[in-house]
Chains A and B, each alone.
Chain A
Amino acid sequence: MPPRGPAIFVLSLLLSAAASAADLTVSAAASLTHAFKEIAPLFEAQNPDTQVLLNFGASGALLQQIAKGAPADVFASADQETMDQAQAQALMRATGRRNFVSNTLVVVVPADGKVVPKALADLGGSGYARIAIGQPAAVPVGRYTQAVLQKAGLWAAIEPRMISAQNVRQALDYVARGEVDAGFVYATDAALLPDKVRVALTVPTETPILYPIAPLAGAPNPAAAQKFVAFVLSAPAQAVLAKYGFGKP
């Protein structure tokens, strides 16, 4: 490298554009992390000019970013309510909205945990001092959990024990590390760490857990956004999602 090489390299790093015209930014629910990381290269293989940028977080947090003008092209939420809010604020193109997978709510405990609940009501007893639950205001899994516990009349007993998680994967991590005695996550998250967490209960939810996806109204790359939504509904992407345990919508 000539003497000026490093300086030019650093300069080019500093000046490289944040996003180019061919980028496609996908904001997706945290529970989709593994599946979408596998789907993105499949999409890129079919669309060689497009580079997929993935942005994961709690659906509610992603909605706030989009509402404040984040230049995202596609939004995939873990619940209908968050997408409904996006639709109400005209942030997405309603005609492009599709449900693409379903999921199940489960209670997980650390694999080496001393206590395993047999029923939801057990979580109100001793032995469960700390229970990881997604922050209901921003995290869909927390919202599903709160609705179930309220319906069962257990929310008042469990809320004081709640360790709120910023997204479903943080709740999973707290359980896997044994920092909490139990946690509410999706079946697909629990399946990622079979030697660290144990599924104790499958919890039926009042509203089915259906994931919607939609191209966004302010998408910098609208054509690719539509293509990506169609791709997620296609057989190759659905196969990846099924592999991670997601159900048919």
Chain B
Amino acid sequence: MEGAWVALALTLKVAGWATLLTLLAGVAAGWLLARARFAGRDLLDALLTLPMVMPPTVLGYYLLVLLGRRGPVGAWLQANFGINLIFTWQGAVIAAAVVAFPLVFKAARAAFESVEPQYEQAARVLGHGEAAVFFRVTLPLAWRGILAGVLLAFARATGEFGATLMVAGSIPGRTQTLSVAVYEAVQAGQDDVANFLVLVTSVTCIAVLLAAGRLAPGRVAGQP
């Protein structure tokens, strides 16, 4: 059962990095779409939300074709930096981040839109620059909503399966996350391993949801 703990540690590492990436990208995109007015805004919103509704296998295929050795991005990374993402845990991070991104983006956009522009105006009148307005007024006011999205993104990244399997494969100790390990154990008829893995996964997910409920009451876990 030692393999289960290795898989759990790897899952948390992958989900943690993926959440960090989605936090940065999701807040930036959410702020842009909440505040800026430009042509094609609705289309951009739809494109950024797409990973939430598209099957993970479709995303996995896109990523495999883009990031693979013969893909435009993959070949470029290999030629210029010697980086290869397929079959690596970093590849799993990319897959999980893409799938989880809309959860942060959507939450961030809604949170920024609910911030009263008057507060920002007041800060500007008091002499704050745009960066200070964002970090000292807008972001703190929107933080709760963003955090709810971030926690959901973490949970989603923890459970990512389809895109991860296609991009990162299933290498024990390197890319085999909990969900992939469960799949492989069931395929091989190792029910005792599968039972233990699903137990670990379930407990982890419950812990994440409880933490989410405590950190952002009423937004994630349905508590008042």
Measured between C-beta atoms, what is the minimum distance from B7 to chain A in Å?
14
Determine whether the beta carbon of B187 is less than 8 Å from that of A164.
Answer: no
Determine whether the beta carbon of B170 is less than 8 Å from that of A60.
Answer: no
Measured between C-beta atoms, what is the minimum distance from A169 to chain B in Å?
13
Given contacts A63-B189, A138-B187, contact A179 B170 (CB under 8 A): no
Q: Which of B70, B187, B190 has the most CB of A within 10 A?
A: B187
Q: Across the interface, which residues of A come within 8 angstroms of B86, CB to CB?
A: 179
Determine whether the beta carbon of B171 is less than 8 Å from that of A64.
Answer: no
Q: Across the interface, which residues of B come within 8 angstroms of A203, CB to CB?
A: none
Interface string of A67-105 (1 = CB under 8 A from B): 100000000000000000000000000000000000000
Interface string of B52-72 (1 = CB under 8 A from A): 000000000000100011100
Determine whether the beta carbon of B188 is less than 8 Å from that of A178.
Answer: no
- Residue total for B at the interface (Cβ-Cβ under 8 A): 16
Given contacts A64-B187, A179-B86, contact A164 B169 (CB under 8 A): yes
Q: Across the interface, which residues of A come within 8 angstroms of B120, CB to CB?
A: none
Q: Across the interface, which residues of B come within 8 angstroms of A138, CB to CB?
A: 184, 187-189
Given contacts A138-B184, A164-B169, A179-B86, contact A60 B69 (CB under 8 A): no
Q: What CA separation (Å) do A63 and B189 show in the bound complex?
A: 8
Q: Across the interface, which residues of B come within 8 angstroms of A28, CB to CB?
A: none
Contact of B186 with A by CB under 8 A: yes
| Interface residue from B64, B70, B189 paired with A64 (Cβ < 8 Å) | B189
Q: What CA separation (Å) do A185 and B9 show in the bound complex?
A: 33
Contact of A166 with B by CB under 8 A: yes
Number of A-B contacts (CB under 8 A): 48
Given contacts A130-B87, A135-B170, contact A177 B64 (CB under 8 A): yes
Given contacts A164-B170, A164-B171, contact A179 B188 (CB under 8 A): no
Given contacts A177-B64, A177-B68, A179-B68, contact A137 B188 (CB under 8 A): yes
| Interface residue from A60, A67, A178 paired with B68 (Cβ < 8 Å) | A178
Determine whether the beta carbon of B184 is less than 8 Å from that of A135.
Answer: yes
| Interface residue from A58, A163, A177, A178 paired with B187 (Cβ < 8 Å) | A58
Given contacts A163-B87, A166-B170, contact A177 B70 (CB under 8 A): yes
Q: What CA separation (Å) do A37 and B68 show in the bound complex?
A: 30
Determine whether the beta carbon of A137 is less than 8 Å from that of B70.
Answer: no
| Interface residue from B69, B169, B190 paired with A178 (Cβ < 8 Å) | B69
Q: What CA separation (Å) do A123 and B136 show in the bound complex?
A: 59
Q: What CA separation (Å) do A160 and B70 show in the bound complex?
A: 24
Measured between C-beta atoms, what is the minimum distance from A128 to chain B in Å?
14
Determine whether the beta carbon of A135 is less than 8 Å from that of B188.
Answer: yes
Determine whether the beta carbon of A179 is less than 8 Å from that of B87.
Answer: yes
Q: What CA separation (Å) do A164 and B86 show in the bound complex?
A: 13
Interface string of B182-224 (1 = CB under 8 A from A): 0010111110000000000000000000000000000000000
Report the nearest B residue to A57, measured CB to CB: B187
Q: What CA separation (Å) do A166 and B165 show in the bound complex?
A: 10
Measured between C-beta atoms, what is the minimum distance from B150 to chain A in Å?
32
Contact of A147 with B by CB under 8 A: no
Interface string of A164-200 (1 = CB under 8 A from B): 1010000000000111000000000000000000000
Determine whether the beta carbon of A137 is less than 8 Å from that of B68.
Answer: no
Contact of A61 with B by CB under 8 A: yes
Report the nearest B residue to A178, measured CB to CB: B69
Q: Across the interface, which residues of A come within 8 angstroms of B171, CB to CB?
A: 162-164
Q: Across the interface, which residues of B come within 8 angstroms of A130, CB to CB?
A: 87
Measured between C-beta atoms, what is the minimum distance from A83 to chain B in Å?
14
Report the nearest B residue to A136, measured CB to CB: B188
From 154 to 189 in chain B, residues with beta carbon under 8 angstroms from any chain A beta carbon are 165, 169-171, 184, 186-189
Listed by A's residue number, 17 A-B pairs whose Cβ atoms lie within 8 Å are: A60-B188, A64-B186, A64-B188, A64-B189, A135-B170, A135-B184, A137-B184, A137-B190, A162-B171, A164-B184, A166-B165, A166-B187, A177-B64, A177-B70, A178-B70, A179-B69, A179-B87
**Can you add 12 more A-B contacts, CB < 8 Å, to A64-B188, A164-B170?**
A58-B187, A61-B187, A63-B189, A67-B189, A130-B87, A138-B184, A163-B169, A164-B169, A164-B171, A178-B70, A179-B68, A179-B86
